[in-house]
């Protein structure tokens, strides 16, 4: 059953439903990423998937490096590369 069908969207579950603008969205995603760093659950992505995600995040971050969302993308790309040993 999907989250939407169960009445619990992912945005609601992860605290993103109440954000009003891109700055708040970037802050909420940053908090979520920090929470994810403390979560020791099973791996969700293969190495190839993780590398592809890091590449996409890195390219997105380069488009406007001063933007809060792009800074978050750069940080996430860096974390993924570090975990991949790149």
List the single range of 10-19, 20-29, 51-60, 72-81 with lowest mean pLDDT.
10-19
The span from the CA of 53 to the CA of 34, in Å, is: 18
Does residue 46 surpass a pLDDT of 70? yes
What is the per-residue pLDDT for 74?
93
Does residue 83 surpass a pLDDT of 80? yes
- In this prediction the pTM is 0.62
């Amino acid at each position: 059953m999907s989250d939407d069908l169960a009445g619990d969207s992912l945005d609601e579950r992860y605290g993103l439903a109440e954000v009003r603008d891109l700055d708040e969205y970037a802050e909420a995603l940053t908090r979520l990423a920090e929470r994810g760093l403390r979560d020791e659950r099973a791996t969700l992505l293969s190495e190839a998937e993780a590398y592809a995600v890091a590449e996409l995040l890195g390219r997105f971050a380069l488009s406007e490096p001063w933007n809060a969302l792009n800074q978050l993308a750069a940080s996430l790309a860096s974390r993924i590369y570090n975990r991949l040993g790149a």
